[in-house]
Amino acid sequence: AQDVPPYTEDCRSGTYPPSGPTFKGKVQWYTVNLDQPPYERWQKLISDKKAPLNELIQHIKNLAKAIFPNLIDIVDNKLPFLIGKLPSPFGEEMKGVADAAGLPLGEIMLFNIFYEVFSV
Amino acid sequence: CTSVVAQDTSGKLFHARNLDFGLFLGWDVKNNSWIVSELLKPLVVNVNFQRNNKTAFMSTSFAGYIGMLTGMKPGVLTLTMNERFSLDGGYIGILEWILGKRHGVWMGFLTRSVLENATSYDEAKDLLSKTEMLAPAYFILGGNKPGQACVITRSRTSSINFWELDTQKGEWYVLETNYDHWKPPLVIDNRRDPAMKCMKTKGQKSISFTTIYDVLSTKPVLNKLTTYTAMMSISENKFEAYLRDCPHPCMPW
């Protein structure tokens, strides 16, 4: 079906500046100050995005539980012990993100290895 | 994902991408959409990373993810990363890392280090080609001079292929989806040919944010997995990102 309209189309024109049904909105800008301690850098951004981040993590947890019932227990209880093995400043930044989002550290670590896990 | 770096006839480089993610992570039957793709959209943010009150680099990212998938170091380089699927994938790298074999770098950390620390296109190319990683990937890199654009195809341990812009041979853009560029794409997921056909139609003379956005808005380059479109230009010092939607009927990938 990919090669047949309406799933494929002739090259579009006049789509920019973005508008219409394929445009869902502009992306908001934030500043992250690298001179701040790593733990504090993401606080403002994460406090703004706490609700959607929690919603996404909850969905991933539900999905993971359906396939590997014990996975989230391992993620919550074992993964945080490895935070010190991450190169600076990434471990401290993740701790800051987890605390600002009110989520377990292991779940933020899981979100950050999402790419590695799904490249199969 | 679809990433492209194109050079116009005056030598200006334009780097753009569609970020597609969320395949097989739950389908919302009611809204005809991938659940994770939709949940990711409110998390998309542009981040201006500053040091000494000056921009060190910029990125389009997902809140909570501290690595980089799309970024620009003003005056120096632009970088995007596309997923490369492999049986020798990142899950092996992660298991090894958990079990104590920690030679490899997390993909998002490597791209962030490059954006933060690389001082030239060549240095970035070297780091992205040679650093051992936990997962395979495609790195699409642009520089600040004509001809500086490439796709680096990576396995976990080494660079498999290096494809650079060659305007002398008429190759005025490099375009990468999620398949090795020297092999045909998966027959049910061919976004490469429609995107290349569209680039050819637009032509080198007219390449700009306007025409690249048209390319990335054409189905199936735009699909149900597309969360955002980002466009970057070193020469014009512009960085733009837009949230996307692909209303039904639209390919799921």
Q: What is the predicted pLDDT for the residue at A63? A: 87
d(CA B216, CA B17): 7
Predicted complex ipTM = 0.95
- pLDDT tens digits for range B146-193: 999 999 999 999 999 999 999 999 999 999 999 999 999 999 999 999
R_g over Cα of chain B: 17
Q: What is the predicted pLDDT for the residue at A120? A: 62
The set of residues, in sequence order, having a beta carbon less than 8 Å from that of B136 and lying 6+ positions away, is A119, B84, B85, B86, B88, B89, B90, B154, B155, B156
**CA-closest candidate to residue B229, choices B247, B248, B210:** B210
- pLDDT tens digits for range B218-240: 999 999 999 999 999 999 999 99
Q: Which residues of B touch A53 (CB under 8 A)?
A: 43, 63-64
Are the CB atoms for A62 and A54 separated by under 8 Å?
Answer: no
The answer to whether B1 is a known catalytic residue is yes
Q: What is the predicted pLDDT for the residue at A117? A: 80
- pLDDT tens digits for range B69-83: 999 999 999 999 999
Q: What is the predicted pLDDT for the residue at B203? A: 97
Q: What is the predicted pLDDT for the residue at B105? A: 94
Contact: B39, A59; criterion CB under 8 Å: yes
- pLDDT tens digits for range B115-149: 999 999 999 999 999 999 999 999 999 999 999 99
% of chain A with per-residue pLDDT over 90: 73
Neighbours of B246 (CB within 10 A): 23
Nearest-CB residue to B214 (from A15, A85, A117): A15
* Structure-token pair, residue B196: 């290349």
Q: Would the pLDDT of B242 be above 90?
A: yes
Q: Which residues of B touch A18 (CB under 8 A)?
A: 213, 229, 242
* Structure-token pair, residue B103: 């030679």
- pLDDT tens digits for range A54-96: 999 999 989 888 888 888 888 899 999 999 999 999 999 999 9
If you average pLDDT over every residue of chain B, what do you get?
96
φ, ψ for residue B92, nearest 5 deg: -70, -45
- Scanning chain B, the segments in alpha helix (DSSP H) are 35-40, 90-98, 107-117, 121-130, 192-202, 209-216
Contact: B89, A97; criterion CB under 8 Å: no
φ, ψ for residue A81, nearest 5 deg: -65, -20
The set of residues, in sequence order, having a beta carbon less than 8 Å from that of B81 and lying 6+ positions away, is B68, B69, B70, B107, B111, B137, B138, B139, B140
Q: Which residues of B touch A13 (CB under 8 A)?
A: 211, 214
Three-state DSSP state, B127: helix
Average pLDDT over residues B27-42: 95
